[in-house]
Each structure stands twice: as C-alpha cells, then as structure tokens.
Structure 1
Amino acid sequence: MRNARYFKNALALCLVTMTSGVGVAAWADEIKKPVAIPQVSNDWRGSITPYLWALNVNGSVYHGGNELVSANIDTSSLLSTLNMGAMLIGEVHKGNWGLSADLMYADITKTSSHPVGNYVDLGSKTSLSLGIYTVTASYTLHNSKDVYLDALLGARVLNNNGSTSFNVDGYPLLRKNINTTVTDPVVGVKGRFRISDSEYFVPFYVDVGGGGGNTQVTTQAYLGVGRAFDWGDVELVVKNLYYKQKNQGVTTNLDLFGAGVGVTFKF
C-alpha cells in the first residue's frame, strides 16, 4: 500500500510538472510570437530603421509655361558619384501619441563639368550635399489586430548645398555656390494592415505640404509589403518624394522615386 501511495504521489508530481512545463512553453512562444500590427499601450515603445533607397531623380525647370531644362539620373549614375549617404527612420510611442523622424542625406561629386567657351578643362568638378528631413508628431486613429493607422503633423526640411568650379592649369576660373534651406509644414497618415491573419503586412504612408519659402507643394508616399519577426520587421516598398517650387516666374520640379528596403529593430 505504501509503495502504491508513493507511486500515485510521484505520478501526480510528474503530471503537475509536465503541465506547468507546457504552460511555460506556451507562454514563452506567445511572448516571442512576431507582431505584425503594433498595439497601443501606456508603455514606451520605439524602433530604428536603417534603409536603402534605389533612388532615381527626375528634374525640370519651366518659365512662362515652357520647359527650359530637364534631367534624369538613374540609380547607377548616382552611386558612381556618391561620396557618403545615410537613410534612417526612428520612432517612439507612448499611448496614442508618437514622434517620428525620416532622415536622408547624400554627398556627391561629379567631375568633368564642362565650361562654356574655348577653355581646357583641367580638373573641374561639381559637389552637392542634399539633406531631406521629415519630422512628425503622430496620433493613433485606429488600432486592432489587423489594422494600425496614425495621423501625422510635422515639417519637412530640404537642405541643398552645391558648388561648381572650373579650373585652368590648376587655378580657379569660375566658382558658383548654391545654398538653400526650405522648411515646409506637412500633414498625412501612415500605418499598415495585416495580410490574412499572418506575419505579413502592407505598410503605407502619404503626406502633403508646402508654403515654406518657394515651395508650392511637396508630397511623400510609399507602399509595400513586410514581414514581422520576433526582433523586428523587414519591409520592401516603392517610395516617391516630390517638390514643386516657384521663384520669380521660374518653376522647378524635383521627383525622387524608386524601390527601397528597410530593416526595423524594435525596443
């Protein structure tokens, strides 16, 4: 009888241990499960997203309704002249409120800029540094297990510093500098929706603004597909950034577009 009682007690202990182990394992799996749609809470949450944008540039200048000049630069041409570049998105949220910044900077140098006239080009070059920084505050309009939507209000800063120099026998013949900083207010929405109750989702973003300096309108938008992991997200998007500016009857259009890929680390 005593042995039977010991056996029953041991069996009960094993069952309790196994049940507890299964419960702990299930809890751990739930903790590590990828989250395709972020959930609003009173805890701080944030993310850092370095990204690459295969950028193509279209530009044109108009006066009196007539096109004066246009330019098209593809990704390979930009990479061949790139000295340094950085693209980063950062976000922090607490409750329904949040703050985000999309920062893009590029420094390029183009040699063999041809002077006008019968001069011999002995080392001319054009240098350009371009920074586009979009900073917005956000408020969550909708949050469920399948849809996340934020309203945005903020500003975009365009900083353009360029110089062109022509040299003859090592001496500067001509140097032209252009330094422009324009700040425009923007409003928009961003978010994502889940694909068929899976770890995949569709991220989207759109904003519009203008009225700062010579800017008539500026817009930015992207749409893509992403996958959630327990440590963060990976996204593939198509992105467009547009500026239309007018100064003294001259209208300038700048259109940046291309595919991008980003890796988000959450904390």
Structure 2
Amino acid sequence: MKQAYATFFALAVLAGMAPHVAAQDAPPSAPPPAEREGSGWSFAITPYLWAAGLSGDVAQFGLPPVHISPDFGKVLDNLDFAAMATGEARKGRYSIVADMMFTKISLAYGTPRGALAETARVKSSTFAGFVGGGYSLAHGDRHILDFVLGPKIWNADVKIGLEGGLLNGRSGNDNATWVDAMGGLRGRYWLSDSLYLSGWGLIGGGGANIDWDAGATLGLRISRTASAVAGYRALGVDYDRDGFRFDIVQQGPTLGVSLNF
C-alpha cells in the first residue's frame, strides 16, 4: 500500500503536464481566484487515496459486540483496498457534488477480557456514496463557502471470527444497506494564487442514529492543469438495526490529484 501511495503521487505530478484543466481538491472545490467568475458550468473530478483506519464496535446476529481499536501505526497493514473519488459541477453560486468511497479492512484484535473470546478477526467492506446540491453562502475573490444538502447511501459488510474462550470457532457474516440525510458546509480559502486550504463538515442521520464526515486539505497548484492535495479525513456512523451493529470511525491521511475542466 505504501508503494501505491508513491506511485499515485508520481502520477499526480505527471498530470500537471496535461492541458485544459485547472485546480480542484477533495472534497470541497472551486477554481483558482482568477477563474471563479463565469456564466457556464465547470466540472471537476478528484481521485485520491485514503489510508483509513477503522475503530469502534461491530456486532451481528445478536452476538456480543466486538470493540476494535488497532494501533495507528498498523493502519496500512490492515487496509486491504481503498478507492475514492469526488466530483463537482458548478455554475455561479450553485453546485452539484458527489463523493464516493470503498474500503476493505482486515484485522485481528485481542479482546480486552478474553472470557468469551481471546481474539476477534474482523473483515469489513464499506461503501458510502453522497450526492448533494450546494449553494454559496459566501463567494469572494479568495474564498468560497457552500452549504450542501443531500442523501448518503451506505453498504456495510462485516465478517467476524472468534478464537479462544467460550465462543471459540464462532463466526458469521452480515451486512446492511441504509440511507442518511446529510447537510453541512464546505469551504476553501486561497493563501496565494497556487496554495489553498479547504475544509468540510457534514452531519446527519436517518437509517443510522448519527452520520458525520469532516476533514481538511492543503492544495498546491502544480500548473493550470492540476493540483496535488494532501490532508486528513475522518468520518463516523452509528447504525444499529436487527442485530447488526456498525458503530465505527474511519480516519486517516489523504493524498490525491485534482482536475478541473
């Protein structure tokens, strides 16, 4: 996974040589200060990598919940696969935004007391997709602040295997799909013509008891063709229905390349 990050960053630099696009980052987006005004639509897409670790409580079929709290240094070891991308269509103060992510995480974790089980092996596959509409509350020469609102769909698949203790050998696989309504703010501030800060915070619920997503990035325009962006993202969801519990936080650094056309 570390080698994938190095390769992805090299591709980001090469993308800066391609014509006809401008800077964008993930997930908030806006063209550079000199290019913000215009009567037509602008479009952006941002693939990025997210070294996401998972912590929290998972349970299935009414079995006792397994609490996951792995060491931060083992995030890349536990991450099997991750794919993320964001997109935006903007015209003036109005925008349509999308954010999609898929992660697969595997870990073995020693239980605190070990009476019911000594070790829990957890494999989690998570998809989350958000599509929303945005309106700029503030739109200046070097800043933009949007309010966004829309639905977010989740699919979580969890496999738990228990070793040792009274539940030795017990295992199961369960999944759930649900939709939450999400709302919040996305913004960007240009420190210079080539360097900018972005941040976002969304919160909501519906199928889940609570659903939130927050993060910040630092973007650097490589050229008029692309930006390299790096930051940190954290999201959490608390879903508990029909014996399936998925009360987790996923967080970690992000690295991506942003294209605008």
Same fold per TM (> 0.5)? yes
Q: Which residue of 2 aligns with 1:98?
A: 95
Q: Which residue of 2 aligns with 1:51?
A: 48
Alpha-carbon contact 2:86-2:99 (below 8 Å) kept: yes
Asked which structure has the greater CA Rg, the reply is: 1
1:177-208, Cα deviation, whole Å (9 max, x unpaired): 2111111000111120111x442111011111
What is the identity, as a one-letter code, of the residue corresponding to 2:234? N
Distance 1:59 1:33 in 2: 39
Distance 1:32 1:92 in 2: 14
- Give 1:149's match in structure 2, choosing from 126, 139, 145: 145
Distance 1:100 1:178 in 2: 31
**Which moved further from structure 2: 90-99 or 186-195?**
90-99
Any unmatched runs of 5+ in structure 1?
A: 1-30, 117-124, 167-172
- Give 2:125's match in structure 1, choosing from 125, 129, 132: 129
Q: Which residue of 2 aligns with 1:121?
A: none
How much does 1:265 deviate? 0.9
How much does 1:40 deviate? 4.2
- Give 1:204's match in structure 2, choosing from 196, 199, 219: 199
Q: 1:106 to 1:76 in 2, by over 3 A?
A: farther
Structure with the largest fraction of helix: 1
Distance 2:108 2:53 in 1: 20
Alpha-carbon contact 1:109-1:126 (below 8 Å) kept: yes
What is the identity, as a one-letter code, of the residue corresponding to 2:189? F
Distance 2:82 2:125 in 1: 9
Q: 1:56 to 1:162 in 2, by over 3 A?
A: closer
Alpha-carbon contact 1:126-1:164 (below 8 Å) kept: yes
Length-normalised TM-score, structure 2: 0.69
Distance 2:67 2:122 in 1: 18
SS in 1 for 2:209: strand
What is the identity, as a one-letter code, of the residue corresponding to 2:39? N
How much does 1:111 deviate? 8.5
- Give 2:236's match in structure 1, choosing from 221, 237, 242: 242
Distance 1:89 1:175 in 2: 35
**Which fold has the larger relative contact order, with Cα–Cα distance below 8 Å and residues 6 or more apart in sequence?**
2
- Give 1:71's match in structure 2, choosing from 65, 68, 71: 68
Distance 1:54 1:76 in 2: 11
Q: Which residue of 1 aligns with 2:26?
A: none
SS in 2 for 1:210: strand
Asked if 1:255 corresponds to 2:249, the answer is yes
Q: 1:95 to 1:202 in 2, by over 3 A?
A: same
Any unmatched runs of 5+ in structure 2?
A: 1-19, 24-30, 115-120, 163-168
SS in 1 for 2:38: coil
How much does 1:81 deviate? 5.0
- Give 1:180's match in structure 2, choosing from 164, 176, 189: 176
Q: 1:142 to 1:41 in 2, by over 3 A?
A: farther
SS in 2 for 1:145: coil
Q: 1:112 to 1:204 in 2, by over 3 A?
A: closer
How much does 1:152 deviate? 0.2
1:109-163, Cα deviation, whole Å (9 max, x unpaired): 56999xx9xxxxxxxx865321111221112222221111111011222211234
Q: Which residue of 1 aligns with 2:209?
A: 216
Q: Which residue of 2 aligns with 1:225?
A: 218
How much does 1:84 deviate? 3.4
Alignment RMSD: 3.7
Alpha-carbon contact 2:22-2:226 (below 8 Å) kept: no
